[in-house]
Amino acid sequence: MVYNSTCPYFFCPTKCNLSSIQLKNYLAESSNNLKPSSLSHRIRFIRSLFRWLHEEGIIELNPASKIKEPRVGKRIPNFLTEREIEYLRDACFSPMEKALFEFMFSTGCRIGEIVSLDRNSINWGNQSAIVRGKGDKEREVYFNIRCDIWLKKYLDSRFDNDPAIFATERSPHRMSIAQMRYIIKRISKRAGINKTIHPHQLRHSYATHLLNNGAPLEVIQSLLGHEKSETTRIYAELSGRLRQEFYRKYF
């Protein structure tokens, strides 16, 4: 007997008589509060389960074969304005906070890429670092002079031998993703910005900054480590609207 506690339908794999209508009813009843992306994930799971049951000969008909995922509209990346970036920069107190913030913003790295970064991955000569991104793919990222200065100050202030480029202050060891998120949250609270700030916004802000300064999309795609150009192209939709907003806000 197979049973999901969230699903009102019991079924025996060897005698499954669920219909597409029953599955659709289940999805309608159990997914009222789900976002379209979460509903899509649930549907993919159900389709995968029934496809396997059908391929293994456990069921004769696949009731999930015609169930389609909802259309998920493209979401505009949530970025920070240049003014908000300066507020956050000013709210960084310690060399560690300044180094972490500047590295996140000036490289556009994913937080997971920064967590796994070691000191020996830094090339100080050309202000770059080798990071390991999604799919275990390596790429070179670059940081600016401001980041270079604070990163050196931070590393010079440490007396531990941990290879991680960012380590905890107490009993130094490699900083976790949760700890990095907490630090950014702490900085944003000091800055007094009336919005929730998370590390990935710095990555979006990095891409938006490049776009507004004329960087080609293919260059931004390479720097961000996007496998598909469609992932990067959404930033282009910001361009005209963003310039108008900046004009009205700052002129």
Catalytic residue among 98, 203, 204, 209: 203
Catalytic residue among 47, 98, 110, 209: 110
DSSP H or E stretch at residue 79: none
Residue 18: both structure tokens together: 């669920």
DSSP bridge pairs for 122: 129
Catalytic residue among 26, 154, 206, 235: 235
Catalytic residue among 51, 134, 173, 185: 134
**Residue 241 is a catalytic residue:** no
**Residue 134 is a catalytic residue:** yes
**Residue 226 is a catalytic residue:** yes
Catalytic residue among 89, 158, 198, 226: 226
Single out the residue of 176, 251, 198 nearest to residue 77, CA to CA: 198
**Residue 203 is a catalytic residue:** yes
238 alpha-carbon distance from chain centroid = 18
Whole-angstrom CA distances from 94 to 89, 167, 197 are 11, 13, 19
Distance CA 50, CA 57 (A): 11
* Positions marked catalytic: 110, 134, 200, 203, 226, 235
